[in-house]
Amino acid sequence: MTKPEWFPDWTGETVVIVASGPSASGVPLDIAKGRARCIAINTSWRLCPWADILFACDVAWWDHAAGCPEFTRLKLTVDRKAVEKYACIRQVDCRKPDDRLVVEPVNTVGWGGNGGFHALNLAVQFGCRKIILVGYDMTIKAGIHWHGNHPHGMNNPKAGNVERWRRAVDAAWQVIEPLGIKVINCSPISALRNYPKMTLAEALSA
């Protein structure tokens, strides 16, 4: 597959990916400005409106946000319906229901069941050498999202969903580790098992 013209080249850079777990709201994300790239997932762009990329899987989220005109940088999705409805959104291909992380071809991601997995997969393809995970709680013991439940018409995760997500993100380590990419988990309550935990300040300096 030919690399699309909008596809970023972040070779050798650090990226912070901000997911929606409850722990995300307690992370001082502003300390990453100017020190790392940033991918925000769904409503978490409100925690880091300066993010480079807004990623949301589902057309339902984009509909609720009316295409999110407030965010003016790169917007990505795996949902073809969202791309057809909103000209501002770019398409990422997805190997649903394959949960394996994809290295090649670029702009094609594994499924993994959630946007956090997709964003992690893209960060690898963008060439990042350090990936910092924020809000990847992979448990609902502390709540559903930092912003509460999604509104009516949008799915909210159950325990079985997040356990499936955890397995997919943890399994991605088998592909990522041989590439020499460092992945650091900044959620103190995260159920992920394969990535070291640090504060954001520690992770940026690691």
CATH number at residue 56: 3.90.1480
User: For the segment 159-170, what is each residue's pLDDT rounded down to a tens digit?
Assistant: 678 899 999 999
Task: Give the model's pLDDT for residue 141.
Answer: 81
Please indicate, yes or no, if residue 6 is contained in any of the structural domains: no
Range 81-95 average pLDDT: 97
Number of domains into which the chain is organized: 1
Indicate the average pLDDT of the chain.
93
Q: Give the range of the structural domain holding residue 28, as residue numbers without chain letter.
A: 14-205
- The two structure tokens encoding residue 130: 């350090």
Helix, strand, or coil (residue 69): coil
Note whether 109 and 122 are within 8 A (CB). yes
- Residue 52 inside a domain? The answer is yes
**Whose CA is closest to 182, among 137, 128, 103, 141?**
128
Tally of CB atoms within 10 A around 30: 11
pTM value surpassing 0.85: yes
User: What confidence score (pLDDT) does residue 80 get?
Assistant: 96
Q: Indicate if the pLDDT at residue 48 is higher than 80.
A: yes
Residue 1 and residue 128: Cα distance in Å, rounded?
A: 20
In DSSP notation, 18-52 reads E--SGGGGGS-GGGGTTTSEEEEEGGGGGG-TT-S
The 3-class SS string of 132-188 reads EEECCCCCCCCCCCCCCCCCCCCCCCCHHHHHHHHHHHHHCHHHHHHHCCEEEECCC
pLDDT in tens, 70-81: 999 999 999 999
> Residue 7 domain-assigned?
no
Band of the pLDDT at 158, cuts 50, 70, 90? confident
Spell out the residues 6+ positions from residue 176 whose beta carbon is closer than 8 angstroms to its own.
101, 124, 131, 183
C-alpha closest to that of 22 among 5, 4, 43: 43
Q: What is the pLDDT of residue 151?
A: 67
Tell me how long the chain is: 206
Q: Which helix (DSSP H) or strand (DSSP E) does residue 74 occupy? A: strand 74-77
